[in-house]
């Protein structure tokens, strides 16, 4: 997406989540930038969805990520690479004209003399320029191909993960300009929204173009992709999965609502193939006596004999990166970033409630209870984990009866012996826990940020640490008993000694994003040192009703230069 369409799309999605999403809807907002760190699991928590929207950043495409010298767009690069000499000559002429205009504007006439001299030297220069333009076109296509592979890989994972969900499943692709077989097999209908809205030939604010480029565009409009070409892949994707394309409209929110309404009325016709021959079989659906009706359905299915991966490490890894949460073992994932001396350390914690564990009976011959743990930490924009945890924890309940008492009282709790140390930046931890005796799985994730305390010009905060009253330090879980009290602690870094302009607020939200408590807190305890730190603490009443909640702390400056937010989720058991 271009920057202007990106901002418009994010605003429309924000309004839809706030106004149209209901408590019975499950949704996920996922960037197509190819980064696993941007994946979010399906949820009906509006706060998490809005947080995901705020976190998604504009992803530049391969063609614009590195400014190519000749400002070749993808349409021009495609035509040049396919051998279109007219397109190549048009770009060469444009580059020559722009170079001449730039040098004349700078008071130099050397290039003008070279271009007007004629002869062998001029032809050699022009041939060299043609070669350079062709090389740049290949680079643009290569970068764009990598972007496409990233999108296809994300769709493949999404469709595969949604395969086991019941009922009608839809994916809405917000795009400007792709994995159909997996969508068909998984029963996912894709709806595409054209983020460009009403298309015009005007120049957008995000484009880099000169006067010569505008003239070339006007006289050679066939060197740009048409509206039909821009959306051809989206048309193929929606047609192959039974969805629809909503184009040529500025009402993105309305298009999203129409897609959801369209999916609310449907029929499911199922059958079992006689043989799984790994071949594609075409399907045709018609309604007898109703010739005036339009039937949208998938064009066919691929009869694949899927391998079972239950109980293997492959199952753990697949569950870890899937956007579909596994609730067999409801898993709570917490990542607290707190100061330790001059360092910022990350203390992760995993917790499965006591009511969800299956412990062996005291009279059973096998008195072991084992849990497999796999967790990966991803940096923002990175596909490879920057940290990993892989453990199998086995409890011998016969030799250590106190372990049974702990599991029955507190559930499964795991905190690594060694905390992580990571550079400043935004991260996501994704974790999965499997109970070996039953094979039950639980997945979860948590976004967190390591503050840049060395940057004394930027105010930042640690994580919000939640603990029962009287407890010192994090014990691996943010689970509390209803009606009790919790201590809330965090640290502000690099704040000015003058705190008169700081506004510090705390909110308590339920799982639907409803505000249960709102208060303004004074900023306390500024201290001097290598970086100015202010340790903050307050105490809150834990809600009496069981469920999921969140504490949100915001810090804002009077002039708008300071705007920091931290969120800590917790569970009332």
Are 525 and 534 in contact, with CB atoms under 8 Å apart?
Answer: yes
Nearest-angstrom CA–CA distance, 17 and 27: 9
Strands 188-194 and 169-175: parallel
Query: What confidence score (pLDDT) does residue 317 get?
Result: 82
Query: What confidence score (pLDDT) does residue 39 get?
Result: 61
* pLDDT tens digits for range 17-51: 888 888 778 788 877 665 555 566 778 888 778 87
Domains of the chain, CATH where assigned: 3-63+143-263 (3.40.50), 68-142 (no CATH), 309-450 (2.60.40.1930), 452-573 (2.70.50.30)
Provide φ and ψ at 248, rounded to 5°. Answer: 60, 40
Strands 563-572 and 547-557: antiparallel
Provide φ and ψ at 367, rounded to 5°. Answer: -105, 30
Query: What confidence score (pLDDT) does residue 266 get?
Result: 65
**SS3 per-residue string spanning 177-211:** CCCHHHHHHHCEEEEEEECCCCCCCCCCCCCCCCH
Sign of CA dihedral 117, 121, 126, 132: negative
Given the structure tokens 């009402």, which residue do they identify?
Answer: 251
Query: What confidence score (pLDDT) does residue 100 get?
Result: 52
* pLDDT tens digits for range 163-215: 666 666 777 766 654 444 444 445 566 666 666 555 455 555 444 455 555 45
Query: What confidence score (pLDDT) does residue 292 get?
Result: 74
* pLDDT tens digits for range 523-533: 876 655 555 78
Q: In whole angstroms, what separates CA 131 from the centre of its chain?
A: 39
Nearest-angstrom CA–CA distance, 214 and 72: 13
Who contacts 402 (Cβ-Cβ below 8 Å, separation ≥6)? Answer: none
Query: What confidence score (pLDDT) does residue 146 get?
Result: 66
Tell me the whole-structure pTM to 2 decimals. Answer: 0.60
Query: What confidence score (pLDDT) does residue 323 get?
Result: 74
Tell me the three state secondary structure of residue 130. Answer: helix
Ranges of residues in the chain whose predicted pLDDT is under 50: 60-66, 103-118, 177-185, 199, 205-208, 214, 221-231, 307-309
Query: What confidence score (pLDDT) does residue 327 get?
Result: 84
Query: What confidence score (pLDDT) does residue 391 get?
Result: 94
Given the structure tokens 């296809």, which residue do they identify?
Answer: 152
Crossing angle of helices 3-19/46-55, nearest 10°? Answer: 170
Nearest-angstrom CA–CA distance, 548 and 353: 13
CB-count exposure of residue 296 (10 Å: 0-12, 13-18, 19+): middle
Query: What confidence score (pLDDT) does residue 242 get?
Result: 61
Q: In 174-249, where does DSSP find H-type helix?
A: 180-186, 211-219, 227-230, 232-241
Query: What confidence score (pLDDT) does residue 223 get?
Result: 43
């Amino acid at each position: 997406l271009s920057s202007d369409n990106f901002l418009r799309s994010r605003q429309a999605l924000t309004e839809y989540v706030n106004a149209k999403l209901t408590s019975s809807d499950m949704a996920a907002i996922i960037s197509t930038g190819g980064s696993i760190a941007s994946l979010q699991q399906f949820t009906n928590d509006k706060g998490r969805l809005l947080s995901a929207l705020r976190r998604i950043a504009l992803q530049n495409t391969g063609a614009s990520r590195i400014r190519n010298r000749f400002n070749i767009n993808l349409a021009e690069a495609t035509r040049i690479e396919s051998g279109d000499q007219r397109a190549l000559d048009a770009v060469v002429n444009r580059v020559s004209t722009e170079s001449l205009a730039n040098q004349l504007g700078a008071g130099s006439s050397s290039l003008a003399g070279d271009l007007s001299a004629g002869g062998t030297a001029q032809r050699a220069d022009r041939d060299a320029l043609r070669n350079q333009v062709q090389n740049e076109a290949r680079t643009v296509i290569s970068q764009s191909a990598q972007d496409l592979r990233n999108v296809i890989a994300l769709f493949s994972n999404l469709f595969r993960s949604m395969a086991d969900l019941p009922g009608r499943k839809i994916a809405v692709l917000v795009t400007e300009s792709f994995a159909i077989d997996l969508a068909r097999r998984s029963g996912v209908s894709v709806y595409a929204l054209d983020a460009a809205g009403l298309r015009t030939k005007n120049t957008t604010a995000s484009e880099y173009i000169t006067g010569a480029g505008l003239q070339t565009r006007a006289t050679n409009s066939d060197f740009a992709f048409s509206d039909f070409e821009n959306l051809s892949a989206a048309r193929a994707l929606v047609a192959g999965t039974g969805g629809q394309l909503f184009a040529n409209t500025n009402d993105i929110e309305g298009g999203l609502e129409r897609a959801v309404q369209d999916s609310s009325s449907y029929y499911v016709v199922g059958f079992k193939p006689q043989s799984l021959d790994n071949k594609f079989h075409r399907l045709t659906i018609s309604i007898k006596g109703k010739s005036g009706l339009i039937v949208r359905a998938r064009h066919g299915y691929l009869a694949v004999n899927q391998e079972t991966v239950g109980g293997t490490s492959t199952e753990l890894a697949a569950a870890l990166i899937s956007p579909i949460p596994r609730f067999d073992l409801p898993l709570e994932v917490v990542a607290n970033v707190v100061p330790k001396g001059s360092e910022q350390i990350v203390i992760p914690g995993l917790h499965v409630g006591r009511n969800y564990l299956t412990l062996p009976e005291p009279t059973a011959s096998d008195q072991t209870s084992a849990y497999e743990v796999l967790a990966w930490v991803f940096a923002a924009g990175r596909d490879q984990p920057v940290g990993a945890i892989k453990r199998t924890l086995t409890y011998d309940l016969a030799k250590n009866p106190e372990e049974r008492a702990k599991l029955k009282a507190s559930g499964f709790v795991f905190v690594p012996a060694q905390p992580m140390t990571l550079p400043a930046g935004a991260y996501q931890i994704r974790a999965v826990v499997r109970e070996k005796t039953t094979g039950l799985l639980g997945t979860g994730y948590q976004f967190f940020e390591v503050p840049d305390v060395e940057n004394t010009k930027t105010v930042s905060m640690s994580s919000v640490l939640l603990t029962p009253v009287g407890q010192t330090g994090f014990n691996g879980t943010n689970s509390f008993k209803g009606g009790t009290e919790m201590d809330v602690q965090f640290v502000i870094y690099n704040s000015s000694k003058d705190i008169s302009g700081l506004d510090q607020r705390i909110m308590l939200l339920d799982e639907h994003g409803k505000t249960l408590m709102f208060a303004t807190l004074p900023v306390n305890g500024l201290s001097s040192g290598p970086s100015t730190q202010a340790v903050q603490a307050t105490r809150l009443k834990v809600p009496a009703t069981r469920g999921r909640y969140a504490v949100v702390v915001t810090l804002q400056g009077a002039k708008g230069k300071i705007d920091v937010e931290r969120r800590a989720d917790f569970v009332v058991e």
